[in-house]
């Protein structure tokens, strides 16, 4: 079978880079976009044959050009991983600047819409089309002071389920992945900030932060990537329209 042709948004850092590494290791031909040009260059040096392009998924004209170029250079598309997203501000809804709300929706939700809209014609020509949307534990629970982020992550679940119904007749499977607290520099900064504010140790803040999980560990980005590879493989050929948590069995926020 020919290698999968995979496009990953925000693929140069964090979960996105883990996704690129995992699909590359599986033998796929991989293209990524990101707003971080330096990180794209590092990823290209690490992963031979990786296709890269600077693109902000919140920029509608840029998205159309990016997807067209990726499909042309990869020779089509079999898998789209909508990974791009921003966290937005942390404050009560009544205190939100409307421009912050608009920015989160533009990237997390409308950006996913635009990338997917342009990718669907290419995926319909594939005999093994797959779309994965990166939701979050915030797409399962309410998140105080994170209304735009949580709203978009819930919306992505509805979008995935709707697309699964719309595209099933073309053999395209659509699922959403919902990571919990993910290991990495961002999580470490969060725990450091909490420790400074509370006077507790970083380890104590981690214990408190993981108290709502059955498994007391942060999620490894590589595990999220392996889940994505599985869902895009023939082993996942009967899975569509699902929200799949990977969060250490998180019970609440």
Q: What is the mean pLDDT of the chain?
A: 96
Same domain, 205 and 238: no
Q: Is residue 251 part of a domain?
A: no
Same domain, 188 and 105: no
Phi and psi at 48, nearest 5°, equal -55, 135
Same domain, 94 and 190: no
Question: Which SS3 state, helix, strand or coil, does residue 146 take?
Answer: coil
Cα–Cα dist 202/187, whole Å:
11
Cβ distance 13 to 219 under 8 Å?
Answer: no
Q: Which two tokens stand for residue 87?
A: 């966290």
Same domain, 177 and 133: yes
Which of 179, 76, 164 shows the shortest CA–CA distance to 127? Answer: 76
143 is catalytic: no
Same domain, 224 and 204: no
Same domain, 119 and 152: yes
Q: Is residue 250 part of a domain?
A: no
Indicate left, alpha or beta for 249 from its phi (over 0: left) and psi (-120 to 50: alpha): left
Same domain, 214 and 241: no
Cα–Cα dist 150/10, whole Å:
19
Characterize the bridge pairing of strands 243-246 and 130-134.
Answer: unpaired
Same domain, 139 and 225: yes
Same domain, 72 and 194: no
Same domain, 145 and 233: yes
Same domain, 148 and 69: yes
Return the DSSP state at 171.
Answer: T
Which of 106, 98, 74 shows the shortest CA–CA distance to 7? Answer: 74
Q: For 1-92, list the strands marked E by DSSP.
A: 5-9, 29-34, 51-54, 79-82
Cα–Cα dist 77/92, whole Å:
41
Cα–Cα dist 16/224, whole Å:
10
187 pLDDT band, cuts 50/70/90, is confident
Cα–Cα dist 219/180, whole Å:
7
Q: What is the number of structural domains in the chain? A: 2
Residues above pLDDT 90, as percent of the chain: 88
* Span 162-184, pLDDT tens digits: 999 999 999 999 999 999 999 98
Return the DSSP state at 250.
Answer: B
pTM over 0.85: yes
* Span 37-89, pLDDT tens digits: 999 999 999 999 999 999 999 999 999 999 999 999 999 999 999 999 999 98
Q: Which two tokens stand for residue 56?
A: 């902000």
Residue span of the structural domain in which 204 resides: 184-218
**What does the DSSP assignment read for 190-239?**
HHHHHHHHHS--HHHHHHHHTTTBSS-SPBPHHHHHHHHHHHHSGGGTT-
- 149, 153, 218, 240: the active-site residue: 149
Phi and psi at 64, nearest 5°, equal -60, -45
* Span 194-204, pLDDT tens digits: 788 789 999 99
Question: Which SS3 state, helix, strand or coil, does residue 88 take?
Answer: coil
């Amino acid at each position: 079978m020919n290698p999968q042709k995979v496009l990953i948004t925000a693929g140069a850092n964090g979960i996105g880079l883990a996704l690129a590494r995992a699909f590359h290791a599986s033998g796929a031909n991989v293209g990524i976009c990101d707003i971080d040009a330096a990180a794209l260059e590092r990823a290209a040096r690490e992963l031979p044959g990786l296709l890269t392009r600077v693109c902000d998924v919140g920029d509608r004209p840029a998205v159309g050009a990016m997807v067209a170029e990726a499909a042309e250079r990869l020779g089509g598309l079999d898998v789209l991983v909508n990974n791009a997203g921003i966290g937005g501000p942390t404050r009560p809804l009544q205190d939100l600047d409307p421009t912050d709300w608009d920015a989160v929706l533009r990237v997390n939700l409308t950006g996913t819409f635009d990338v997917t809209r342009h990718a669907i014609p290419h995926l319909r020509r594939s005999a093994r089309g797959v779309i994965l949307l990166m939701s979050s534990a915030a797409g399962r629970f309410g998140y105080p002071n994170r209304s735009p982020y949580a709203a978009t992550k819930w919306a992505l679940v509805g979008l995935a389920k709707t697309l699964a119904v719309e595209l099933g007749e073309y053999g395209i499977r659509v699922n959403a992945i919902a990571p919990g607290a993910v290991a990495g520099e961002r999580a470490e900064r969060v725990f450091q900030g909490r420790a400074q504010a509370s006077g507790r140790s970083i380890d104590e803040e981690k214990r408190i932060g993981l108290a709502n999980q059955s498994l007391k560990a942060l999620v490894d980005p590589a595990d999220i990537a392996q889940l994505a590879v599985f869902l895009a493989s023939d082993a996942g050929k009967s899975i569509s329209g699902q929200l799949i948590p990977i969060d250490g069995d998180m019970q609440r926020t």
